[in-house]
Amino acid sequence: MAKNNKILVPEAREGLNKLKADVMKKQGYRVPKDNPDNVKFEIADELGIPLSKGNNGQITAENAGKIGGSIGGSMVKEMVRMAQQQMLNNQSKE
């Protein structure tokens, strides 16, 4: 999979990687600290989708979505949970 995702704030990369690692570890995946993107290979293997380092042009959009959706969807759910908790904390301070 080509890494075409560009984050709007490059300084946030470290925080996003930490979030990804934390979320995926909670789901029972082994996430290397030095490269949390490698969790996609474990997910692909679990789903029976052939994924290798480098060009994966043979993978269908559906399969790519299954791999990335597992990761991204989990991250979004966690960010929503964190935002809701922060709103609750802010309300209790008022």
Band (pLDDT 50/70/90 cuts) for residue 3 is: low
How far, in Å, are 35, 42, 66, 86 from residue 48 at the CA level?
A: 22, 10, 11, 38
Neighbours of 1 (CB within 10 A): 18
pTM of the model as a whole: 0.71
User: What tens digit of pLDDT does each residue of 22-81 get?
Assistant: 999 998 988 887 888 888 999 999 999 999 888 888 899 999 999 888 888 999 999 999
For the chain, the domains span 10-93
Find the helix or strand (DSSP H, E) in which 23 lies: helix 13-26
Q: Please report the pLDDT score of residue 77 as a whole number.
A: 93
- Would the pLDDT of 85 be above 90? yes
